[in-house]
Amino acid sequence: MKALTVETRKGARCRVLEAGSGMPVVFLHGAGGLLAENPFLDRLAARYHVFAPELPGYGESTGEELLEDMLDFTLHGWDVVAALGLTRPHLVGHSMGGMIAAEMAAVAPNDLDRLVLVDAAGLWIEEHPIPDIFALLPGQLVELLFQDPDRGQTLLTGGVDFSDMEAFKTFYLGQQRRLAMAGKILFPIPNRRVSKRLYRVTAKTLVLWGQADRLIVPAYAERWARLIPGATVQTIPDAGHMLPYEQPQAFVDALVRFLG
Amino acid sequence: MRFTWFNLMPWPYLPDDFREKNRSVWVDIPNTLYDPKKGHFVYHQYMDQLEYAETLGFDGIGCNEHHQNGYGLMPSPNLIAAGLARRTSRAAICVIGNSIAGYNPPIRVAEEFAMLDVISGGRLVAGFPVGTPMDTNFCYGQIPALTRDKYGEAHDLIMKAWAEDEPFAFDGKYNQLRWVNCWPKPIQKPHPPIYIPGGGSIETWDFCLDHDYNYSYLSFYGYLRGKSLLEGYWERVAKRGKDDSPYRAAFAQIICVADTDAQAEELYAEHCLYFFNRCLHVFPPFADPPGYRTVNTIKYGALSQLRMEAQRIMQGLTWKQLVEERFIIAGSPETVRQKLEECITGLRIGHLFCLLHTGNMPDWKTRHSTKLFAEKVMPHLRHLWPEWKHDDRWWIHPMEERLRPEETRPGAEKPGQEWR
C-alpha cells in the first residue's frame, strides 16, 4: 500500500494508507493503531479502493491537541473523508475505530454507504465490564487482545526486540502517545453514550465479532445489533479482539459478502 | 529554615503477607482490610500527633489527599485541617493539598480553603497538586491526557474567585458557572501561600515560576534521588531570571531520631520497612497511565520501566540500605542534624516536610522521635539561609488578634456570657 498525507480543514495532518480501486472503503483502526503489517488491508484492496487513515497521535499523524472529545473525533473522521475527496464510502471500524464509525454514522447517516463494526468499543454492559486497558502490564494486554497470545505478541510489536533498550524506548513512547489519545474517548469507561444516537443510523450495518474476544466479549455484538435498526451479527471462530489480524481471510470474506 | 510536621496517615494494620497477596496498596486495595472501629482510634491518634507537633514549635503541621490508598487515610484533607484549626492557633496548617482537577466544580476548593483560612485566623498553606494518576485518573476518573489542562482551568477559577470582589461568569472548557462569588473569602491577601507538590513533571516547574508558587518535591526516595530533579528546577529558576530564594522549594523527608544510631534501628526499622515494603506496593500501571506524563517529561526522566524498577527495589529493602542510600535520615540527633544539613543545602530548600511518623509506628515512638527532633535537631538547623531569613513570600500571614480555641476548654461557660 502507499502512504499519503492529508490535511483536514481543522488542521490535523494525517497519514493514510491507500491501495486498490473501486468502491471506497475507509478502515478506522483501534486504540493500538495500525500495526507494522496489515495483510487484511492488502487483501481488501484487491476488490475495493481502501483508505486507512491514522488518527492524530498515531504514527506520523499530528494534531492530537485538536481533538479532545467524542464529537471532535467524530467530525475529524468526516473531515478526513472530505480531505480524501470521497463520497458515501463504506465505513469499517475496528474496536475504538468502530466507536468512531458508529458515531459518524449516527451524526451523518446519509454520508456513508454501509457500516461494519468490528469488535467495536463504545457500549457498556454492566454484567460484562470491559477490562481497563489503561491499567495493564504489557503481557496482560496481549492475553486480552489475541486468541493466540504468542503469535499476537509478534504481530503487536512488529518483531521488535525489547532487550534492545533503544527499540523498547521508541515502542514505549509510541504506545504512550497512542493510548494518551485513545484515553480521550475510552478512559475511564469506553462509553460516550453513542447508544442514545444509534437510532439515527440508516446505513445497512454488519456487526462482526471474534468469537474468542476476551476484551469486549461477544455479548456486545448482540447489544450493537439491538440498538442499530436492521443490523446483523456475524461471529468468526478462532479469533479474539484482534480479529482482522488473527483471521484476515475470514475477515475479508465476511466483508466481501456484506459489501458486495 | 522552616519545618512542618507532616503525617501521611498510613493504615497501620496491613497484614504481613500484604505484598504477596495483593497487587496494589492503592486504587484496588481490598477495602475489607479497613476496620472503621480501629480507624476511629487511628484518626484521633494521628490528629493528636499533629497537635502535639505544634506544642513543640514546628512551624507548620500538614496533611495531604489520597484516595483508595492504604498509606493515606485522608480522601478529604480539609476535614483533618478543620479539626486542627480548632485545636491549634500558632502553626501553619499545610494542606498539600487538594487535587483540584478532580473537584466538580473546583469552586468548592476555593470555598473550603477560604473557610479553613478564616477559621484558623489566616494560617492556611494551600496546596494544589495536579494529583497522582492513582488518585486523579484511576480513582476519580479524570482523562489522563486532559488532566493537566483541566487542572490549569481549575486553578484559574479558584484564584480568580479569591481575587474578584464582584460576581463573575466563568466560561471554562470543563466548568461553566454563571455566578462565581466566593463566600467566604480567605483572610490572607491576595491569597494564602500556594504550594505545588510535584512528583517529577517538568511542566510543573514553569507553572510554579509563572505564578511564583512554592515547588514542593514530594518523594519518599530521599534526597540523593531528589537531587537531580531539584537541580533541574533550580536551573529553570535561573533561566527564568527569578531570584534563588530557598523558600521557593520544599522537600519531604522521612526522619527518625533516637538517642543513638543503634537505637534508631532498634526503635524504627520495623516501621520504616513496613512503609517501604507494604505502603509503597503499587501496581505499576496505576502509576503511569498514557497521557498523564507528557512526552517531554517521559524523555527527561525515567521510563515507566524505572517505575517497575522502583518497585523491585522496594521488595528486598533493608534498614542498612534505607539509611545508606538516604531513603530515610535516621540516627542520633547529631547524625540526623548532619545529614539533614547536607540534604537541605544540597537541595537548596527553605522548607522541610518532616515525616516523623512512618508506616505503623506506634504513638510513643512517634512522639519520642518528634520530641528529640524538635529539641535537639531543629534548633541547630534554624540558622540556615541567613541571607533569606526575612523572606516570607511563601509563608502564612495570620491575623495578630485571633482566637486561641485550644486554650479554652471545649464547652466551658464563661461567666456573663450565657445565652439569654
pLDDT in tens, B144-201: 999 999 999 999 999 999 999 999 999 999 999 999 999 999 999 999 999 999 877 7
* Burial environment of residue B21 by CB neighbours within 10 A (0 to 12, 13 to 18, 19 or more): exposed
Instruction: State the pLDDT at residue A43.
Output: 98
Give the integer Cα–Cα distance in Å for B3 and B350. Answer: 9
Closest CA relative to residue B28, chosen from B309, B280, B282, B310: B282
pLDDT tens digit string along A95-125? Answer: 999 999 999 999 999 999 999 999 999 999 9
Q: Which residues of B touch A71 (CB under 8 A)?
A: none
> Residue with C-alpha cell 463504545?
A122
CB contact under 8 A, A176 and B144: no
- Residue B85: how many CB atoms within 10 A of its CB? 22
Residue B139 has pLDDT above 80, yes or no: yes
Residue ranges of B 332-371 with Cβ closer than 8 A to chain A:
none
Q: What is the mean pLDDT of residues B73-78?
A: 97
Angstroms from A173 CA to nearest CA on chain B: 7
Q: Please, which residues have CB within 8 angstroms of residue B36's CB and are 6 or more apart in sequence?
A: none
Cβ <8 Å between A135 and B289: yes
Question: What backbone torsions phi and psi does residue B93 show, to the nearest 5 degrees?
Answer: -105, 105
Selection from A22, A17, A15, A18 nearest residue A260 by Cα: A22
pLDDT class of B137 with cuts at 50, 70, 90: very high
Mind listing the pLDDT tens digit for each residue in B355-413? 999 999 999 999 999 999 999 999 999 999 999 999 999 999 999 999 988 887 655 55
Residue B414, domain member (yes or no): no
B232–chain A Cβ distance below 8 A for any pair: no
CATH code: domain of residue B27: 3.20.20.30
Asked if residue B305 has pLDDT above 50, the reply is: no
Cβ neighbours of B291 in A, within 8 Å:
176, 179-181, 183-184, 187
Distance CA B166, CA B179 (A): 10
For B307-322, write each residue's pLDDT tens digit: 566 666 677 789 999 9
Mean pLDDT, residues B92-111: 97
In chain B, which residues have their Cβ closer than 8 Å to the Cβ of A172? 303-305
What pLDDT is attached to residue A168? 81
- State how far the Cα of A48 lies from the Cα of A1, in Å rounded to an integer: 13
On the 0-12 / 13-18 / 19+ scale of CB atoms within 10 A, B178 is exposed
How far is residue B25's CA from residue B40's CA, in Å, rounded to a whole number? 21
Express as a percent the part of chain B with pLDDT over 70: 94
Does the pLDDT of residue A82 top 80, yes or no? yes
pLDDT at B306: 47
pLDDT above 60: residue B415: no
Partner-chain residue, chosen from A169, A182, A184, that has the shortest CB–CB distance to B303: A169
Provide, rounded to the nearest whole percent, the portion of chain A with pLDDT above 70.
100
Among B107, B115, B103, residue whose Cα is nearest residue B178 = B107
B363 CA: distance to closest CA in chain A (Å): 37
- Which residue from B minimizes the CA distance to A140? B285
Q: What are the residues whose beta carbons fall under 8 Å from the beta carbon of B405, sequence distance 6 or more?
A: B86, B87, B89
CB-based contacts of A187, cutoff 8 Å, min separation 6: A134, B137, B141, B143, B144, B289, B291
B411 interfacial to chain A (CB closer than 8 Å): no
Instruction: Give the model's pLDDT for residue A157.
Output: 83
d(CA A51, CA A84): 9
State the pLDDT at residue B131. 92
pLDDT of residue B319: 96
- Residue A181: list chain B partners with CB under 8 A: 145, 291
pLDDT of residue B98: 97
* Domain ranges within chain A, ordered by starting residue: 2-259
Q: Is residue B312 part of a domain?
A: yes
Assess if residue B356 is contained within a domain.
yes
CB of B144 within 8 Å of any CB in chain A?
A: yes
Span of A204-213, B114-123, B311-320 with lowest mean pLDDT: B311-320
Q: How confident is the model at residue A166 (pLDDT cuts 50, 70, 90)?
A: confident
Q: A2-259: what CATH class?
A: alpha beta
C-alpha A27/C-alpha A208 separation (Å) is 14
Q: Name which of A176, A179, A191 to mutate to probe chain B: the one with the most chain B Cβ atoms within 10 A of its Cβ.
A: A176
Interface-testing mutation among B27, B143, B307, with chain A (most A C-beta atoms within 10 A): B143
Report residue B111 as a C-alpha cell.
470555598
Q: Which residues does residue A62 pair with via DSSP β-bridges, in sequence order?
A: A13
Spatial distance between the Cα atoms of B122 and B378, rounded to a whole number of angstroms: 24
Give the count of domains, chain B: 1
Predicted TM-score (pTM) of the model is 0.94
Q: Which residues contact B72 (CB under 8 A, 6 or more apart)?
A: B8, B9, B10, B64, B65, B66
Kindly state the average pLDDT of the residues A150-157: 89
Q: In A25-112, which ranges are continuous DSSP H helix? A: 39-44, 70-83, 96-107
DSSP helix/strand/coil, A5: strand
Residue-by-residue DSSP string for A91-113: EEEETHHHHHHHHHHHH-GGG-S
Q: How confident is the model at residue A205 (pLDDT cuts 50, 70, 90)?
A: very high
Domain of residue B237 covers: 2-406
Residue at grid coordinates 498515531 = A58
Residue B30 exposed, middle or buried by CB count within 10 Å (0-12, 13-18, 19+): exposed
Helix (H) or strand (E) holding B257: strand B249-257
Angle at A60 between CA A55 and CA A62, to 5 degrees: 60
Q: Which amino acid is at A193?
A: R
Whether residue A184 and residue B145 make contact (CB cut-off 8 A), yes or no, is: yes
| Average of per-residue pLDDT across B121-145 | 97
> Rounded distance, CA B194 to CA B128, Å?
7
Q: Name, in order, each residue with C-beta under 8 angstroms of A181's C-beta and a sequence gap of 6 or more.
A: A55, A56, A57, A58, A64, A67, B145, B291
CA distance to A67, B271, B335, B365, B376, per residue, from B263 (Å):
59, 14, 12, 12, 16
Cα separation, B360 vs B115, in Å, equals 32
pLDDT at B14 over 70: yes
